[in-house]
Structure formats: structure tokens, C-alpha cells
Amino acid sequence: MNTKPKAKDGWYAVYTYPKAEKQAYSKLQALGTESFLPLQTVVRQWSDRKRLIEVPLFPNYIFVKTTPERRFELLQIRELVRFISFDGRPVAIPEQQITAIRQIVTQPREIVKEVFDYQMSQKVRVSAGHLQGVEGYVVRKNGAERLVIQIEALRQSFSVDLAASSLVSLAS
């Protein structure tokens, strides 16, 4: 009788071939594997027209919830290249970061009309709203604050407009 405990599902970032994120997502869904492809709507200009299209927020990356035992099986999907790893071990993405990204891509941006007293590069935490608990750094004063939320496993960032009243300064 095998008494080894079953490995717990976790979120992992998987590198895809260029422009293959949507195909990989479809194949993962067909296999019944929980996955997440954050998309953003952008305006693309062609010579004769403009069009709104959805593109990946993190080009060449998709998030997959799986067990360590299933990673090799998932890499049989042609569009997936490799799990993002450090020191030879796939890096688990905390559920809180996946939740924060989901909220950012599904929530409309807030319109902000107030002045704020934060300094550039100051570390802050969101104290209210959909992103409560998420930490980042102030990167720009633009009539509105912009909070950068870093996804360390990807070594990429994205920014979102937030009201100054929803931020709390953290000691650096």
C-alpha cells in the first residue's frame, strides 16, 4: 500500500512558443486542466483600419494549475516549451498573485482626480478595493497614481491606476 501523500495542485508559469498562448490555453482547457491566460484589449492599426483585439498581458506565458507529477504530461502539448524554473525547480506562483492578475484584467480602471504625496519607487500596499493586500511600487505621477505589481517568477511587471486613498505606504 502506497502511503505517499498526494502532491497538491499549484500554479506555475509555462513558457509558450511566440503567438501560441491562445492555442495552448485551448488545448489545456480541452484536457480539463485549470489554466489562466490573462488578456488585455488593445487597438491595432492597419493601413486601412483600426481594430480592438485581445493580446496576452504576458506574451509567451500562460499559467497552469497542476501537480508536479503532471508537468511532463502537459509539456506534450506542442505549444508549451517549458515550465519557468530557478535552480532546476519549477517556480510555484502564489494563489494571491493569480487572483490579483485576474482582478486587474477583469476590472475597469478607476478614474482618479486627486493629488497624492507618494514618492517615486516608494513601496505601497493596496488597502481597499479589488486588489486589497497586493504590494507594488509607485512609478509615475500622471494625475493618477500607477502601482507596479511585480510577478517575480516572470520577472515582468504591469501597472494599474489606483486612487491614492486606497494605498498605504510600506517602510522600505
Chain segment 64-122, per-residue pLDDT in tens: 999 988 999 999 999 999 999 888 888 888 898 898 888 878 875 543 334 456 666 77
Q: What is the mean pLDDT of residues 154-158?
A: 64
For 24-38, 70-84, 93-107, 157-171, which range has the lowest pLDDT when averaged over its residues? 157-171
> If we measure between CA atoms, which residue out of 74, 78, 81 comes closest to residue 59?
81
pLDDT exceeding 90 applies to what percent of the chain? 30
Global confidence as pTM: 0.66
pLDDT exceeding 70 applies to what percent of the chain? 70
CA 158, CA 39: separation in Å to the nearest integer? 12
Domains (range + CATH), the chain: 10-93 (3.30.70.940), 123-169 (2.30.30)
Residues 147, 153, 156: CA angle, nearest 5 degrees: 45
**Each residue of 3-17: pLDDT tens digit?**
554 557 899 999 999
